[in-house]
Structure 1
Amino acid sequence: MARGLGKVGIKDVAGAADVSVSTVSHVLNGTAPISAEVRERVLNAANALGYLAQRRNKAAISVLRTVLLAVPSDALPLNDYNLYSWSLLSALSRECERRAIRIVPFEIDKPGLGGAVLVEAARKAEADGILLLNDDRPELLREIAKSGIPAVLMNGEDHEMQVDSVTPGNRFAARHATDWLIGQGHRTILHMTWEGRATIRRRHDGFLEAFRVNGIAPDHARIALAEGFLPHLGERAMLAWLDQHDGLDGVTAIFCAADNLALGVIEALNRRGIAMPTDVSVVGFDGVALGEFTNPPLTTVAVPLQHMGMSALNLLELRIVNATLSPPAHRLELGCRLIVRKSVRSLP
């Protein structure tokens, strides 16, 4: 059990592991070969005493002091439809406060704003690093990479791998959700999505991949495109699809690329007298909208938004600490989890 009072020192770890202080130092710093049994004993003692967490916290506070946070304007202020970005930013703010890191906000989508302006703002703020939310324009990322300022892209993909990035495992999570639907007996499934950024296309890719790995003909994987992710656009697209196909046309489940879309889909189904899940099952993605309050509650894929900011700060820290090594860009994907509620029924 970690100690609640006072700081834990390397001598405490050595005593708990019944080894010398120098052995603990070698294990923690990787400066000498140590047997697997002794190494495990030292790490277990350091973790139980809270020494590892203490070291991590100390490093984070000393390395990062100020970060420039570049966000799109639609992430602020809080409303019912930007809960994804808002939840991510709220968790990031709490983590920065815990680590005593100052945040300098910067709206990235102002007219005429390019990478050079962003870099200049970071230098003016004397920022140790840049956190960039959602905006993965290649020209913007090139300017940031060229500046040499440590940067992490959150919820986006850098196809040229010039800057570090952290994102949900969108493809794997979508494949898992679709595979689970198939396991519930569903074979003809509609994917409601929109022409979004690469992160949304990964969800589309995972949906299709589930059909391939299960040996189901591709014509059972239906696609419907909304004009955007807002609920009213999902409702409009669903109504249009139902009109075009004279009803569900054999579809027994709808997998939506965002919870907001799922809310619109549910409204469209209600308008046409189609019951969920009796007539059709519905699954969302994100886990932050009002899905738990729908009737019935929405099954969804929960994105670990509470951890994305923390992971981004850790990547920034590593980039600064290892600056002299010029390490290649890291792309970190975080695992998502399926939350099963009452909006899906199993088929024979």
Structure 2
Amino acid sequence: MPLERRPDRKIGIKDVSREAGVALSTVSHVLNGTAPISQEVRVRVLEAARKLGYLAKRQRKGAIASLSTLYLAVPPGNLPHNDINLVSWTLLTALSRECERRGIRIVAHSGAPQLNATEILAGARAAEAEAIAVVFDDNPKLLKGLAGSDIAVVLLNGEDPTMSIDTVAPANRYGARLATEWLLANGHRRILHLTWRGRSTIMRRLDGFHDAYLQRDLSTDLGEVLCAKGYEPEHAREALRAFVAERGGLDGFTAVFCAADNLAIGALTELQALGFRIPADIAVVGFDGVAPGDLTQPSLTTVRVPLDALAAATIQALEQRLSGAGRDQPAARIELGCRLIERESGGSSIVG
């Protein structure tokens, strides 16, 4: 028999269990997001908790997993699973696993090649999604259009300079500084930063490269930035081939810090094709940590981005935003630390 809510009686998890007709453990898993639960059961438990007033009680404390459907918007170019989309694919897989673990349904956005705020909001409402996750696209017009919505939004792996929506990203600037400081500590002074004109996240890696020189009171002129046409390995090969031809060699550079593992793989290939020994003649360091770095010859030193943790932090940010206490809070910018993985291509200290 359904339980009638009385104002003089405290409602607890046992009451929700009886109302929904499920075990206590099932209610706990639904409310805390600690195990995969079917969509039908999850909705039933949340409806029972809402009816009894228990949902509002937990939401006021910011302690409930109320996200059941997530609308996922990703630029089409980031979706294919191939050797140059490893970061995208790995991050999206991690997000999918995290949602599966928590029993959250994902509805993927399908629309124009360029993400559009109006289309995304319409799709999210049609899917009855409580939240939207935008991945890789920090176009200001898109973010502005989403910021005014009554649906919770988080940007994963991007930046919002206006701080209008929550963002979750790796600490790109500090990760790049970490790698550059490691090279400087090992005796390198002339370091080439191989990058491309990418989004703001890539620009933060350039900032970190310069930060490391400034931290040691070294002139940033000792380092140099080499821009490739894009982030694919072949783009790195073309850029380095032209650089070596123009300078007649390495021009005193003893290390290359690449803004992505894709570029680092291309750098390894091209430098060796040109007759340089790695790391004896020049060290190579990447950034991302998803490429098969231990399968390259030599194995790739890189900055590892915590992709699984980024996925978990994205869901946590949305849960917090959906809680009663979180709806009126200012936008949060969440950055997770990266770790340097030392392998053969980075060498150790330079000789002489």
Fold in common (TM above 0.5)? yes
Q: 2:183 aligns with which of 181, 184, 189?
A: 181
Name structure 1 gaps, 5 residues minimum.
1-51
What aligned pairs does 1:37-48 form with structure 2 within 5 A after superposition? Answer: none
Q: 1:57 to 1:269 in 2, by over 3 A?
A: same
Alpha-carbon distance between aligned partners in 2 of 1:195 and 1:91, rounded to the nearest angstrom: 27
Alpha-carbon distance between aligned partners in 2 of 1:327 and 1:116, rounded to the nearest angstrom: 24
Which secondary structure does the structure 1 equivalent of 2:208 belong to?
helix
Q: 1:119 to 1:300 in 2, by over 3 A?
A: same
Which residue does the alignment assign to 1:218? 220
Which residue does the alignment assign to 1:193? 195
Q: 1:101 aligns with which of 77, 90, 104?
A: 104
What is the one-letter code of the residue matched to 2:286? G
Q: 1:228 aligns with which of 210, 230, 238?
A: 230
**Are the aligned partners of 1:151 and 1:163 in contact in 2 as well (CA < 8 Å)?**
yes
**Are the aligned partners of 2:64 and 2:323 in contact in 1 as well (CA < 8 Å)?**
no
Which residue does the alignment assign to 1:77? 80
What is the one-letter code of the residue matched to 1:289? A
Deviation at 1:76, TM superposition (A): 2.1
Q: 1:341 to 1:113 in 2, by over 3 A?
A: closer
Q: 2:89 aligns with which of 83, 86, 90?
A: 86
Q: CA RMSD in A?
A: 1.9
TM-score (norm 2): 0.81
Q: 1:306 aligns with which of 300, 305, 308?
A: 308
What is the one-letter code of the residue matched to 2:102? R
Deviation at 1:202, TM superposition (A): 0.2
Alpha-carbon distance between aligned partners in 1 of 2:243 and 2:152, rounded to the nearest angstrom: 46
What is the one-letter code of the residue matched to 1:157? E
Which secondary structure does the structure 1 equivalent of 2:252 belong to?
coil
Q: 1:112 to 1:198 in 2, by over 3 A?
A: closer
Which residue does the alignment assign to 1:203? 205
**Are the aligned partners of 1:285 and 1:302 in contact in 2 as well (CA < 8 Å)?**
yes
Report the identity percentage: 48
Deviation at 1:75, TM superposition (A): 2.3
Which secondary structure does the structure 1 equivalent of 2:209 belong to?
helix
Deviation at 1:77, TM superposition (A): 2.5
What is the one-letter code of the residue matched to 1:57? G
Deviation at 1:62, TM superposition (A): 4.2
Q: Structure 1 stretches (4+) deviating beyond 6 angstroms? A: 52-55
Deviation at 1:74, TM superposition (A): 2.2
Which residue does the alignment assign to 2:290? 288
Alpha-carbon distance between aligned partners in 2 of 1:116 and 1:193, rounded to the nearest angstrom: 33
Q: 1:54 to 1:187 in 2, by over 3 A?
A: farther
Matched, 1:239 2:215: no
Alpha-carbon distance between aligned partners in 1 of 2:275 and 2:204, rounded to the nearest angstrom: 32
Which secondary structure does the structure 1 equivalent of 2:33 belong to?
helix
Report Cα offsets for 1:37-94 as digits up to 9, x if no partner. xxxxxxxxxxxxxxx9997436887401001000111222311111101111111111
**Are the aligned partners of 2:192 and 2:257 in contact in 1 as well (CA < 8 Å)?**
yes
Name structure 2 gaps, 5 residues minimum.
1-27, 35-57
TM-score (norm 1): 0.81
Q: 1:112 to 1:201 in 2, by over 3 A?
A: closer
Alpha-carbon distance between aligned partners in 1 of 2:297 and 2:326, rounded to the nearest angstrom: 55
Which residue does the alignment assign to 2:299? 297
Which secondary structure does the structure 2 equivalent of 1:91 belong to?
helix
The number of residues matched between the two structures is: 296
